[in-house]
Every structure is written in C-alpha cells, then in structure tokens.
Amino acid sequence: MNLGVATRCRYLSRDLVFPQLSPEARADAWLSRQFEKSFEVVRRLKSGGMGELFELEHKRLGRRCVLKALHAKHRSRHDLAARLENEARVLSSFSSPRMPAIYDSGTLEDGRPYYIMERLLGEDLCASRGVSRENAVRIVSELLLALELVHGAGFVHRDIKPDNVFLTTQGRVVLLDFGLARRTRDELRMTRLGLTLGSPRSMAPERHGDSGGDERSDLYAVGLVLYELLAGCGPFDDVGASVAALRAAHERRLPKPISERLLVELPSRLEQVLQQALAKNPLDRFASAREMREALVNASSSLVYDEPTFVETDPLGLVRDEPDELPGSYAFETQWASSSTEG
Ligand SMILES: Nc1ncnc2c1ncn2[C@@H]1O[C@H](COP(=O)(O)OP(=O)(O)O)[C@@H](O)[C@H]1O
Ligand SMILES: [Mg+2]
C-alpha cells in the first residue's frame, strides 16, 4: 500500500471535517476521533524531541493515562517509528514503579505508532533544578536503582538527562523515554552508519564514537544529572549549544568542582563521586549503577539518609486536577534531615 497517498487523503478529509479549527486544534480533534470509543483526549501535555504526549481519560473507568505518539513532524521517519515501537516494547518488559507502566500500544490511522502509559503527576527534573542537596542525592540514588534494573535486563538507556527523569508529587523517581534504548550486545544497530543520536549536552565522549557507548555512558549521564541538580547548571553550559563545542568540552574539559562554582562547602567525597562518574575514560568510571549508588550513599552519609520508600497516593490515576502545589514542595516519604556537611 502506498502509505504516503493514503496518509495525504486522510489529512485532506481531516481538514474537510474540521475546517473551522486551527491546524493544531484540527490535529487534536482528529486524534480524539481515533480514540473516541474508549477515551476522551483531555489535553495536549508536551511535545518532546520525538513524541507528542496527550492526557487521556478512560470513558468507563475514569482513569487518566498518557498517550505518546510519534510526533506528526516525524510522520515519514520510519526509523523513528521503529524506535517508538521499540520503546513501548522495552518499557513493557519492566514491571517496576521506577518506569511508567504501559497499558497499550498501536498505530494511528496515519501510520504513526503510539503507546498508552500510566499518567504521572509531578514534573521532570528540568523543572527541579535547585533542589536541596539531600534531595539531589536521593533523586539520583533512585535513578541509579532504576538504571540497575535497566542494565540488569540487558539494556542501555542512552538518553539519561533531566527531561527524561520524572519526579512525582509523591517523591517517586521515574525513568522515562526509552526511545534510544538498545540491547547491550545488540548487533542490529538501529542507528544509520555515521549518525549519532542523543542529546549532545548529556552525552559521554564515547557516545560520539562507533560503539555508541555502553552502561558506563549512562553512568556518565547520571553524573551530569547529579552535577546539574547540585550546581543548578550543567558543567559545560558556558560553551553554548553547538554539537562540536559540547563534544569537545565533554572530551577534554574537566568540570569545575561544585564547591568552587557555588562557593559552598560540599562533602569532598561527593565531589569525588562526581569526578569518577564524569571521568573521560569509561574504564575510570564506576563499573555499575550499584557501585555508583553505594559510593553516592556513602559519600553523603553526613546528609542523613534513609532508604527511599514512597507511597503512591494516586495509584489508579484517578486524581483529576493538578495538586495545588507543584515543584518546590514535594512531599517526600523519605526521612531526610540535613546535618553539618564535612569539607
Ligand atoms: N507518563 C507521563 N506522565 C506525565 N508526563 C510525562 C509522562 N511521560 C512523559 N512525560 C512528560 O513529557 C515529556 C516528553 O516525554 P518523552 O517520553 O521524554 O518524549 P520525547 O521522546 O519526545 O523526549 C517528558 O519530559 C515529561 O515531562
Ligand atoms: Mg524525552
């Protein structure tokens, strides 16, 4: 079937059916019609690099969930469609509160793949810079627990960055966006030869090379998340957004210690953890997510730490309205108390 022609015809009919609406509202109305049997499309949530996300409500169950579809601008990108399908498969192989639960997946009428997942309440870490250092350590320690599961199942994530880590209003840390995930020892590369996929700001030096990186590249990216949560900015933000400049900085520049940057005392062992995580040579980094997590917890023992436990107060996704207070005042179930920090 010539999907291109079929797709164009559908757009034509979509424009004819909703002529009075703006292009975006027309696209949303069209999407609503796709799911009208079971779901109401409540609102557009976000547009990421690869996907468009919508909040849905199940008509009979009243449960809210999130639909992630391949972004309309990538409609003809079969490689990205394959990635989104792969993402849904990888995510559904986990059964853990550290990743979003997947409920369904399929293909929209215009050929774009989608999946439906648990709706999370809260914010991704992009909105959470400036959290206390205790919370920064707790969040990253939970992120490492998630990564331990991912690596243990034989995957590398390859796109760890603040946008892809979600902090729920109940303090749960959830790892999102497995669009670049691949099997650790996968021979079948989804990446076209010579094409590096990822976020240059968050990529370990070796991610630009032929191997595309491994578990230790994920740990480097976790180091960057920790740095950013503690410092309020990435170590190389001053170089700008050019891929070449960011790559050169990750390859050659040493990140400024946080205590120097912020002129505050930070436990020196915490700086050492950052240094090791952000080592240029992957072999100088932590060998595993568990090793890094243990080092992090030990390094921050002067910040009183309890094992994180969360209680999800909205396990069925039934809460309709956003809570009054969002970021800045997360109700952590974890017991944290700040004690004096060592130099
Ligand atoms: N299940 C969810 N519930 C609520 N918000 C979500 C959920 N999944 C993703 N998001 C939000 O949408 C953004 C984009 O999602 P993501 O899966 O990262 O898409 P992309 O592949 O386009 O980057 C995330 O950064 C996060 O803020
Ligand atoms: Mg993302």
Active site residues: 159
Q: Write down the pLDDT at residue 203.
A: 94
Q: Write down the pLDDT at residue 273.
A: 97
Q: Write down the pLDDT at residue 328.
A: 29
Q: Write down the pLDDT at residue 209.
A: 82
Which atom of ligand 1 is nearest the CA belonging to 68?
17
Name the closest-CA residue to atom 22, ligand 1. 48
Q: What share of residues in the chain are helix, strand, coil (percent, to 5)?
A: 40, 15, 45
For residue 114, which ligand has an atom nearest its CA?
Answer: 1
Order of strands across the sheet with 122-124?
A: 122-124, 165-168, 173-175
With a 6 Å cutoff on the Cβ, whether 317 touches ligand 1 is no
Which atom of ligand 1 is nearest the CA belonging to 46?
12
Q: Which residues contact 174 (CB under 8 A, 6 or more apart)?
A: 97, 98, 99, 100, 120, 146, 165, 166, 167, 168
Q: Write down the pLDDT at residue 18.
A: 65
Q: Write down the pLDDT at residue 339.
A: 31
Q: Write down the pLDDT at residue 335.
A: 28
Positions in the chain whose pLDDT score sits under 50: 1-12, 187-188, 306-309, 320-343
Q: Which of 139, 140, 188, 132 is nearest to 337 (CA)?
A: 132
Q: Write down the pLDDT at residue 261.
A: 87
Rounded to the nearest 10 degrees, what angle do helices 289-299 and 268-277 cross at?
A: 160
Could you tell me the domains of the chain? Answer: 3-119 (3.30.200.20), 122-322+332-339 (1.10.510.10)
Q: Which of 53, 112, 326 to mutate to test the pocket of ligand 1 (most atoms within 8 A of CB)?
A: 53
Q: How far is CA 74 from the centre of its chain?
A: 20
With a 6 Å cutoff on the Cβ, whether 68 touches ligand 1 is yes
* Three-class secondary structure of residue 95 per DSSP: coil
What is Dmax (Cα atoms) for the chain? 68
Q: Write down the pLDDT at residue 312.
A: 53
| CA–CA distance, 4 with 28 (Å, rounded to integer) | 21
Contact between 189 and 142 under an 8 Å Cβ cutoff? The reply is no
With a 6 Å cutoff on the Cβ, whether 327 touches ligand 1 is no
With a 6 Å cutoff on the Cβ, whether 91 touches ligand 1 is no
